[in-house]
Structure 1
Amino acid sequence: MRSSRFAIFKPGARDAGSISWLLAQTLWVGGLWLLHFLILPAIAKSGLASLLVEEIGSSLRPLLVGLAAACAGLQMMVLVRVERLASMWRDTRGQLLLVVVVMAGSYFGVRALLPGSDLWLMFSYLVMAFCGLLLVLQPVPVTAAVRQ
């Protein structure tokens, strides 16, 4: 019997959708948690002025929120492709991704319209971070060809 030039799916193998899901999830969830709970406290303990630490945080947080929105959008596309649109609304992963996208939109909307509302910005940032943490605990969507 001749070997095929096409890839054969083995148990544990992943398709492009699940690989992109994992990569996007690692980027945005890891980035949000890393900045807020590791980098900014480490910079603050290093002896830099608190105003400088706040300035670094206020310039990096919107970048990470934008990255989170883009990566969550990519994950939503993967989920729709694998699970279909109707089941995405009932799926926990889809609901968490929708919360992340809505919170990212509210972050940028409130930031543009009400510049002094730092409490809401921090709230939406932390909601996105905790939704990401819950999303990490969910199974990765895989296509039917990989499941077999």
Structure 2
Amino acid sequence: MEFQKDLIKLNQAFDNKEAAIRFCGQMLFQGGYVEEDYIEAMIQRNKELSVYMGNFIAIPHGTDAAKEKVIKSGITIVQVPDGVNFGTEEDPQVATVLFGIAGIGDEHLQIIQKISIFCADIDNVVKLADAQSEDEVVRLLDSVE
């Protein structure tokens, strides 16, 4: 699956995790990847099981029931230099890069696998968080085989 430059946003800031998740969902909706209801399913998914993955990464995506709201597979990449807390004040889980995902069938599993391999190396996450252009983000993620 190709990374679309129009789905990459650099230097974003959010007051809380719900605002961050909604932003990812709104990008997918505006791009024609999902129906608007998918955004609420992304919020619900995080309530059921945190979308924070460790290594400063969060992967907001919808519930299994919301798969029917996916029109075509897409992925947003949102850079949050100051981070957004997906945990609690007592146990912060700060994400500096968000990957908003909508996948047809099992495509989202392939997307998550590629992201997981890349982001398992914290140096790669730092490079993504520091990227200065959409092209640089695409180049970094496309380096994963």
Task: Name the TM-score class by shorter chain.
Answer: under 0.3
Q: TM-score, normalised by structure 2?
A: 0.27
- Name the one with the larger strand percent: 2
- Name the one with the larger helix percent: 1
More RCO (CA 8 Å, sep 6+): 1
Q: TM-score, normalised by structure 1?
A: 0.27
Larger Rg: 1
